[in-house]
Chains A and B, each alone.
Chain A
Amino acid sequence: MSAPAAPATPSSIDDLPPAIEVRGVRRVYKAKPNPVTALDGVDLDVAPGELFGLLGPNGAGKTTLIKILTTLLLPTDGTARVFGFDVARQTTEIRRIMNIVSGGEQSGYGLLQVREQLWMFSQFYGIPVREGWRRVDELIDAVGLQEQRHQKISSLSTGQRQKLNLARGLMNDPWILFLDEPTLGLDVSAARVVRDLVRGWQAAVPGRTILLTSHYMAEVDELCDRLAIVDHGRILALGTPTELKQRVSAGSIFRLVLDALEGGVEPIAALPGVERAVLAADDATAPDGQTVAVNLQLTDDAVLGSVITALAAQDAHIVALQKSEPTLEDVFVELVGRGFGDAPEGDR
Chain B
Amino acid sequence: MTQLAGSQARPQRDARGTWQERLLTWRTAVRLGWAVESNWADPVLFLIYSIAKPIASVLMLVVMLQVISNGAASTADLGFVIVGSALWAFVMGGIAGLAWSILDDRERYRMLRYLAILPGSLSVILLGRGTARLLIAGMGSVITLVVACLITGVPIDIGRIDWIMLLVCMAIGLVAVIALGTLMAAVCMQTRQDSWSYPEAVAGALFLLVGAVFPIVVLPQVVQWVGLLMPLTWWIEGIRRAVLPDAASGIGGVGSVWTDVTGTLAPDQGVILVVSMATTAMATLVAFGGYRWSERRARERGLLDRTTGS
Report if B15 contacts A (CB, 8 A): yes
Q: 1/0 contact trace for A192-227 toward B, CB 8 Å? A: 000000000000110110000000000000000000
Report if B24 contacts A (CB, 8 A): yes
The segment from B30-38, B223-231, B267-275 that touches chain A is B30-38
A97-B11 CB under 8 A given contacts A72-B302, A126-B24:
yes
Question: A111 near B39 (CB under 8 angstroms)?
Answer: yes
Report if A95 contacts B (CB, 8 A): yes
Question: B110 near A107 (CB under 8 angstroms)?
Answer: yes
Number of interface residues, chain B, beta carbon within 8 A: 45
| Nearest-neighbor residue (CB-CB) of A127 within chain B | B2
| Nearest-neighbor residue (CB-CB) of B301 within chain A | A30
Question: B31 near A120 (CB under 8 angstroms)?
Answer: yes
Question: B299 near A72 (CB under 8 angstroms)?
Answer: yes
Report if A116 contacts B (CB, 8 A): yes
Report if A13 contacts B (CB, 8 A): yes
| Nearest-neighbor residue (CB-CB) of A110 within chain B | B109
Report if B25 contacts A (CB, 8 A): yes
A72-B109 CB under 8 A given contacts A67-B302, A123-B24:
no
Residue in contact with B4 in the complex, picked from A10, A93, A107, CB distance below 8 Å: A10
Report if A189 contacts B (CB, 8 A): no
Report if B21 contacts A (CB, 8 A): yes
Number of interface residues, chain A, beta carbon within 8 A: 56
Question: A10 near B1 (CB under 8 angstroms)?
Answer: no
Residues of B within 8 A of A333 (CB): none
Residues of A within 8 A of B27 (CB): 123
Report if B113 contacts A (CB, 8 A): yes
- Interchain nearest-CB distance for B157 vs A (Å): 43
CB interface residues, B 89-120, toward A, < 8 Å:
109-111, 113-120
Question: A73 near B28 (CB under 8 angstroms)?
Answer: no
Residue in contact with B6 in the complex, picked from A16, A70, A72, A111, CB distance below 8 Å: A16
Residues of B within 8 A of A92 (CB): 15-17, 119
Residues of A within 8 A of B6 (CB): 10-13, 15-16, 207
A6-B117 CB under 8 A given contacts A109-B111, A110-B109:
no
Question: A123 near B1 (CB under 8 angstroms)?
Answer: no
Dominant SS among interface residues on chain A: loop
What's the Cα separation between A125 and B115 when bound, in Å? 11
Question: B11 near A116 (CB under 8 angstroms)?
Answer: no
- Interchain nearest-CB distance for A53 vs B (Å): 21
Report if A98 contacts B (CB, 8 A): yes
Identify the interface centre among A13, A71, A107, A207: most chain B CB within 10 Å of its CB.
Answer: A107
Residue in contact with A83 in the complex, picked from B10, B24, B115, CB distance below 8 Å: B10
Report if A230 contacts B (CB, 8 A): no
Question: B31 near A72 (CB under 8 angstroms)?
Answer: no
Residues of A within 8 A of B299 (CB): 71-74
What's the Cα separation between A106 and B117 when bound, in Å? 18
- Interchain nearest-CB distance for B133 vs A (Å): 15
Report if A108 contacts B (CB, 8 A): yes
Report if B160 contacts A (CB, 8 A): no
CB interface residues, B 1-49, toward A, < 8 Å:
1-7, 9-13, 15-17, 21, 24-25, 27-29, 31-32, 35-36, 39-40
| Nearest-neighbor residue (CB-CB) of A170 within chain B | B1
What's the Cα separation between A74 and B116 when bound, in Å? 13
What's the Cα separation between A116 and B34 when bound, in Å? 12
Report if B304 contacts A (CB, 8 A): yes
9 tightest Cβ-Cβ pairs between the two chains A and B: A111-B39, A7-B3, A123-B28, A107-B110, A10-B5, A95-B119, A173-B1, A173-B2, A73-B302
- 15 pairs, CB–CB < 8 Å, chain A vs chain B: A7-B3, A10-B6, A30-B301, A67-B302, A67-B305, A73-B304, A98-B117, A99-B117, A107-B111, A109-B32, A109-B35, A112-B35, A120-B35, A121-B114, A124-B125
Since A10-B9, A175-B4 are in contact, a sample of 7 more A-B pairs with Cβ atoms closer than 8 Å, ordered by chain A residue number, is A71-B299, A83-B10, A96-B15, A96-B119, A97-B10, A109-B109, A123-B28
